[in-house]
Every structure is written in structure tokens, then in C-alpha cells.
Amino acid sequence: MMMDFVLLGFSDTPNLQWILFGVFLFIYLTVLMCNSIIILITKIDPVLHTPMYFFLGNFSFLEVCYVTVTIPRMLMDLWTQKGHILFLACATQMCFVLMLGSTECLLLTVMAYDRYVAICNPLHYSLVMNHRVCSQLVAASWISTIPPVIGQTWQIFSLPFCASHTINHFFCDIPPILKLACGDTFVNEIAVCVAAVVIVMVPFLLIVVSYGKIICNISKLSSARGRSKAFSTCSSHLTVVVLFYGTAFFSYLQPKPNQSEGMGKLISLFYTVFIPTLNPIIYTLRNKDIMMALRKLLAKLLA
């Protein structure tokens, strides 16, 4: 028999419910607006019709999907003061969070590879990173995550659950769901760790290798201006990588006993809410081409 769950969310701070609702609503609208602008300008501005901005547009679309899986549900729970969620809805939410998070790992790796080719092999860049290859890399980032994530979700929700059906979290994440399972969950925890190593650590190591080669190549440039320009094209992506992988590491690769429920909730807030809010700001403020495209768009709208 399928049981339903109750998401506690932020019920331990009843006096802050409406403040939190306002804050998360503002964040959600900001993420939607900023990423939609990036998607729009990378489509309409010919200057941004390059592989780097093609990947950035896809990354922005991914961020919109990512926050939409968690924040609207969180807003509804804050508004109704109830956290009731159906078994199937809980499994679906977890599946999408894992799938989109895994896709983000792969897409960040693809973006690092793009920068590697642009800086370390510039003469063959247009040949290597043609539109067909870029489309295939993006499609692979999305599609390859689906089978393992569905398998992982099915494995977790096939477990027998105890009498308690209260999840001390604001969305259906793996650690709080496993805490509700009856019996030994050791095999499931090992499976989660293996999946995290493959999906999180392998792409991270590929990014480290790419940037290792990029830094070596940049250091050989004789022109200080050339080095500065090369670093500036990578700095935004590198900042996003550090933020995303830092929180993912603490959330999924940290031993279970070392992580309190409160700390787990706080870390999850960072990678599901705050980092997607910062990402478009990081990419926009540190990129002259995007700022120029924004000015042109505003000039057209105000003309």
C-alpha cells in the first residue's frame, strides 16, 4: 500500500512563514526573469551565436526547470501551512531534482570542454565545436541521466516505510526519505554514494583536468592582456562550478551521521534556491558581450 508523506519544510519557524513566502517568491521570479533574459538574448543577438552562449542558453533553461521543481511546491506549503504530498508526487519530485542536478553536472563539464578547446586549440575551435557537436553534447547531457535516475528513484521508493511519514525537509530529497525506511538501508546508501561519485565526482575531475590544461596554456601567453582576456572568459564558469560542486559534495558525499537535518536543509537551500539565483548574475555581470546585448535589447524596447 502506497503511503503519502508530510513535508515539514520550515514549520519549525511559524512566525517567519509569510516572510519566507515573500522571499522565496521574489527569488523564484528573479530566477525566471534573469534566465529568460539570457535565453532570449542568446537567441536574438547574432554576436552571441557561438558555442559558449549556446551552452549558456541551455544552462539557463536548465536552471529555470531546476527551481520550478522545488520552489512552487515550497511556496504552496508555506501558503497553505500544510505539507501533504502524495507518494507518487514525492517520487516524481525526487526523480526530477536528481535528473536536473545530474544534467547540470554534465552541462558544466561540457562548458569546461568548450573553454578548453577555445583556449588550447583555437585554430580548430570552429571545426571541433560545430553546431551539430554542440547539440549532441547538450542532448547527451540531458538524456544520459534519465535511466540511472529513474532506477535510483524506483529503488528508494520500493523500500518499505515505517509508520512515520513526516519528512523533515522542504522537498523529497534522498537522505530524509531513507531515514523513513524500515530495515537496513545500507545497500541503498552505497548505491547513492556510487551514483554520486559517478555523476558528481567524474564530471568534476574532467573539469579539473580541463582547467589544469587551460591554466597551463594561459600561463604560456606572452601578453598580459591576452592572459587577462583568457581568464575572464573562464572566471564566471569556474565560479559557478565551485559553488555548485561545493554544495553537492557536502550534501551527497558527506557521511550520513555527520550531517544534521538542519544542516542538510540549509545546504539543500543553497544548491536548489540560492545558487540558481546567483548563476545568471555571475554570468551577466562578468561578461561584456552579454552586457552589450542587454543594452541593445533595452535600447530596442525603449525606442
Number of residues in the chain = 303
161 three-state secondary structure: strand
H-only helix segments in 11-50: 17-44
- Return all residues near 77 (Cβ < 8 A) that are at least 6 apart: 7, 9, 83, 170
pTM: 0.91
pLDDT (mean) for 36-61: 94
Q: Is the pLDDT of residue 1 over 90?
A: no
Which domains does the chain carry?
A: 5-302 (1.20.1070.10)
pLDDT 10s digits, 237-278: 888 888 888 777 766 555 554 456 677 787 788 888 888 888
Query: Using one digit for the tens of pLDDT, what is the confidence trace for 149-164?
Result: 999 999 999 988 887 7
∠60-36-233 over CA atoms, to 5°?
A: 45
To the nearest whole number, what is the mean pLDDT of the chain?
88
Question: Which pLDDT score is estimated for 15?
Answer: 84
Number of H helices, E strands in the chain: 13, 3
**Cβ count within 10 A of residue 151:** 12
- Percentage, residues of the chain above pLDDT 70: 95
Contact 148, 106 (CB under 8 A): no
